[in-house]
């Protein structure tokens, strides 16, 4: 092992293993996760190609190969628990991108949610056995987040009892669905249902797209891959154009709405339950943000302990770059953020499961808040993580730009999270809608509960209008609880400003929608402040549950750093709201620098605790043993450009260039 890393690990103030247990939820979880990981690592069938040296088509091929073998392996190892499947796939697929995945993550669940019992009986067995591979086709070339705008039509023909699916315009071509380009032979297509000359809005249809046996597109179907992307090379995101393509009436998923053989439309009872899937996916994405950021921090911090650069004092050997204040200032707040998001992710998962049970018992009361919260937190954590991964990459200097660092891959595969499953700005505005509604309710005398209960305490809600005086100005910058209060005040203030500006615009504008648009910057700001408060609050509360003293100490420092760094970045809000004074902000900035020094000796142990295997990191810079440079050289030699000693373009172009001129 690299001497620097050895020293770092020996100097840590706590045992990272204990922290790993906290992150996994329990020592038992850690044990089982490692057991599954080792099953793969010790499996001779498990071959790990370096994807970086392959073309896109080759990467797709590798992913399909792995998808195929995975089905067998999971059966062999008896892995069926959803959590364990995720662990398994993560280590198996490295980039966690799997063309066949949509079959399991979208096709089957949609069938289960929206198909009748008869439909489930007909289709389910063949999809679970992968006789058919399905995908889910919703987004169109011209229409994304705003669902009602989708143009694909499904017109019922009572004579033949068929639906005619059609893509009437270029913008209506289905675009982006994963696994659609090359892999799937069926798709659940979302289309505007038209029967008896009337449009009834979006419904789901099972559409066969490729012939069983030959895999050729069926007549009337144009299907293909949408071409190269920033990342997700292994995924065949596809397009689908349907040209008056007929499917039997029974292929419409009819658990809720129905079309009778004569074309009569029967309305669904309620569709509130579809919230559930979205909430699940978004809360999963919060966890993904935490994991991606944790990986990036692991790589950047280990490398910063190995890399030596420049001088602090003349004549002394070059120090580890992790000893530079600027490097600590770049990385440690991100490390703190990674921990914060880990705990938020765990909280979201628990809450989802808890509320899911409530829903099972018919209690939907908490769903609106959870829906609003997951939307905002998905946006908040993915935006932050997006920028943070890039910051980690740049903190690795030039080598961060090479694929050997693994960081470009982490980045390009994470960044679509900002736009898919609901574009982030739209998500923030959904949260804002909930905040505005809550604000109005408090105004009309109702008390709010949950994360927005602070709105009950707004100065404008108090009997005596004493405005500024009610804000407590004494924030204890060493107390996570007191800082949580400060974030709460900031959120309350920005929610109130947005609400008042909105009211003001509503009076002056022709429609509510116009007023909403003209306040949307304020609204997004309010949502961000609300989400920031929630993250701070969850991190502080997590501290109370930590038993081990050494772990508690180190997590408390991270929590403080997370809170104070945010204050420093948003100092304007805290000053303008009278929540903190100028001298307090100066103290905050000073305290941040002290915390950097305090966290420094534990930095490597803190990333070790994330417990990523080298294969999962996919990084030469982030190797556990720290032997960076030797391996970097070995890695580069494998580059396709190095295959021949003299590249063929020399003979084709360079040589003629030299002689011609």
Extract the annotated binding site for FAD. 139, 178
CB of 488 to another protein, least distance (A): 19
Contact criterion met (CB below 8 Å) for 148 and 227: no
Distances from the Cα of 607 to the Cα of 17, 401, 495, 598, 613, angstroms = 11, 21, 36, 16, 12
Closer residue to another protein in complex, CB, 25/319:
319
Continuous segment of H or E residues that includes residue 630: helix 628-637
Look at residues 146, 151, 180 and name the one whose alpha carbon lies nearest to residue 167: 151
Triad 268, 273, 275: Cα angle to 5°: 125
- Only one residue has tokens 């995945």, namely 101
Q: Which is nearer to another protein, 336 or 538 (CB)?
A: 336
CB of 147 to another protein, least distance (A): 10
- Residue written as token pair 């949502």: 527
d(CA 393, CA 229) in angstroms, rounded, equals 20
Q: How far is the CB of 339 from another protein (least distance, A)?
A: 21
Give the torsion through C-alpha atoms of 522, 528, 534, 536, to 10 deg: -120
C-alpha 74/C-alpha 65 separation (Å) is: 14
Nearer to another protein, 330 or 349 (CB): 330
Nearer to another protein, 133 or 367 (CB): 133
- 557: Cβ contacts below 8 Å, ≥ 6 apart: 595, 598, 599
Instruction: Give 158 or 416: the residue with its C-beta nearer to another protein.
Output: 416
198-208/258-259 β-pairing: unpaired
Q: Are 456 and 439 in contact (CB under 8 A)?
A: no
**DSSP structural state of residue 266:** E
Say how far apart CA 310 and CA 303 lie, in whole Å. 15
If the CB atoms of residues 273 and 312 are measured against another protein, the closer one turns out to be: 312
Beta carbon of residue 55, minimum distance to another protein (angstroms, whole number)? 5
SS3 134: strand
Catalytic residue from among 37, 234, 288, 421: 421
The residue (of 273 and 521) whose beta carbon lies closer to another protein is 521
To another protein, the closest distance from the beta carbon of 425 in angstroms equals 5
Q: How far apart are CA 213 and CA 254, in angstroms?
A: 28
Specify the residue for token string 């063309």.
99
Tokens of 589: 């900035």
- Is 503:519 a contact under the CB 8 Å cutoff? no
CA-wise closest residue to 66 among 230, 183, 176, 239:
183
Nearer residue to another protein within complex by CB, 50 or 363: 50
Q: Per residue in 632-642, is it b (16+ CB within 10 Å) or e — as a string?
A: beebeeeeeee
Q: CB 96 → another protein: shortest distance, Å?
A: 17
Shortest distance, CB of residue 328 to another protein, whole angstroms?
A: 9
Identify which of 308, 432, 324, 336 has the alpha carbon closest to the alpha carbon of residue 376: 432
User: Coil, strand, or helix at residue 186?
Assistant: strand
Asked if residue 537 lies in contact with residue 484, where contact means CB atoms within 8 angstroms, the answer is yes
Residue 475 beta carbon to another protein: minimum distance, rounded to whole angstroms: 15
Please say which residue, 146 or 267, places its beta carbon nearer to another protein. 146
Q: What does 334-353 look like in DSSP terms, one character per residue?
A: HHHHHHHHHHHHHHHHHHHH
Class of residue 148 by CB neighbours under 10 A (exposed 0-12, middle 13-18, buried 19+): exposed
Residue with tokens 């050729």: 216
Q: Least Å distance between CB 597 and another protein?
A: 9
Examine the residue annotation and report whether 421 is marked as an active-site residue of this protein: yes
State the virtual CA torsion across 338, 344, 347, 353 in degrees, nearest 10: -100
Query: Between β-strands 186-195 and 134-137, what pairing exists: parallel, antiparallel or unpaired?
Result: parallel
Q: Is there a contact between 152 and 120 (Cβ–Cβ < 8 Å)?
A: no
Nearest distance, CB of residue 61 and another protein, angstroms:
4
Q: Which is nearer to another protein, 337 or 424 (CB)?
A: 424
- Count of beta carbons in the 10 Å neighbourhood of residue 192: 19
Residues annotated as catalytic are 421
């Amino acid at each position: 092992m690299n001497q620097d890393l050895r020293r770092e690990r020996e100097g840590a103030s706590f045992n990272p293993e204990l922290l790993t247990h906290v992150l996994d939820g329990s020592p038992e979880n850690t044990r089982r996760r490692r057991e599954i990981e080792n099953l793969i690592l010790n499996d001779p069938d498990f071959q790990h190609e370096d994807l970086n040296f392959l073309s896109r088509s080759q990467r797709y091929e590798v992913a399909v190969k792995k998808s195929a073998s995975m089905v067998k392996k999971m059966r062999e190892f008896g892995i069926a628990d959803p959590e364990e499947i995720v662990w398994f796939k993560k280590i198996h697929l490295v980039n966690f991108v799997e063309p066949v995945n949509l079959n399991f993550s979208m096709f089957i669940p949609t069938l289960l949610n929206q198909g009748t019992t008869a439909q489930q009986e007909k289709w389910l067995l063949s999809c679970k056995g992968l006789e058919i591979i399905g995908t889910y086709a919703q987004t169109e070339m011209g229409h994304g987040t705003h669902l009602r705008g989708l143009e694909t039509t499904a017109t019922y023909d009572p004579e033949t009892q068929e639906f005619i699916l059609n893509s009437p315009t270029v913008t209506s071509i289905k675009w982006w669905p994963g696994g659609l380009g090359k892999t799937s032979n069926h798709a659940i297509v979302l289309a505007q249902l038209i029967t008896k000359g009337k449009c009834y809005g979006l419904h789901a249809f099972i559409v066969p797209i490729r012939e069983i046996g030959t895999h050729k597109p069926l007549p009337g179907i144009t299907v293909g891959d949408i071409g190269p992307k920033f990342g997700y090379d292994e995924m065949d995101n596809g397009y689908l154009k349907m040209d008056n393509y007929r499917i039997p009436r029974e292929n419409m998923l009819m658990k809720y709405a129905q079309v009778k053989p004569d074309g009569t439309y029967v309305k669904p009872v309620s569709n509130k339950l579809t919230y559930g899937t979205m909430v699940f996916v978004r809360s999963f994405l919060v966890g993904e943000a935490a994991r991606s950021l944790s990986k990036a921090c692991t790589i950047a911090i280990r490398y910063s302990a190995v890399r030596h650069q420049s001088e602090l004092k003349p004549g002394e050997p070059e120090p580890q770059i992790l000893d530079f204040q600027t490097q600590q200032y770049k990385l440690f707040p991100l490390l703190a953020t990674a921990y914060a998001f880990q705990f938020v992710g765990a909280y979201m998962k628990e809450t989802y499961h808890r509320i899911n049970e409530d829903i099972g018992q018919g209690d939907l009361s908490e769903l609106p808040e959870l829906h609003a919260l997951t939307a905002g937190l998905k946006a908040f954590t993915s935006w932050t993580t997006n920028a943070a991964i890039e910051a980690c990459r740049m903190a690795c200097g030039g080598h961060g730009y090479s694929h050997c660092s693994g960081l470009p891959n982490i980045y390009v595969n994470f960044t679509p999270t900002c736009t898919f499953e609901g574009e982030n700005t739209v998500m923030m505005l959904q949260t804002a809608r909930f905040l505005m509604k809550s604000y109005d309710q408090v105004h009309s005398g109702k008390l709010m509960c949950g994360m927005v209960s602070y709105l009950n305490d707004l100065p404008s809600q108090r009997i005596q209008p004493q405005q500024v005086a009610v804000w407590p100005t004494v924030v204890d910058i060493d107390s996570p609880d007191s800082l949580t209060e400060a974030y709460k005040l900031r959120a309350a203030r920005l929610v109130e400003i947005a609400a008042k500006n909105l009211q003001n615009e509503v009076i002056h504008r022709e429609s509510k929608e116009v007023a909403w648009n003209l306040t949307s910057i304020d609204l997004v700001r309010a949502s961000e402040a609300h989400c920031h408060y929630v993250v701070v609050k969850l991190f502080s509360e997590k501290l109370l549950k930590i038993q081990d003293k050494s772990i508690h100490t180190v997590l408390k420092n991270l929590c403080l750093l997370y809170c104070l760094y945010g204050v420093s970045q948003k100092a304007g809000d805290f000053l303008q709201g009278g929540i903190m004074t100028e001298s307090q902000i100066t103290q905050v900035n000073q305290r941040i620098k002290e915390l950097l020094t305090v966290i420094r000796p534990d930095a490597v142990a803190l990333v070790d605790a994330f417990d990523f295997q080298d294969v999962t990191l996919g990084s030469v810079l982030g190797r556990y043993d720290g032997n960076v440079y030797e391996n970097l050289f070995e890695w580069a030699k494998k580059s396709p450009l190095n295959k021949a000693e003299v590249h063929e373009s020399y003979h084709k172009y360079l040589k003629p260039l030299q002689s011609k001129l």
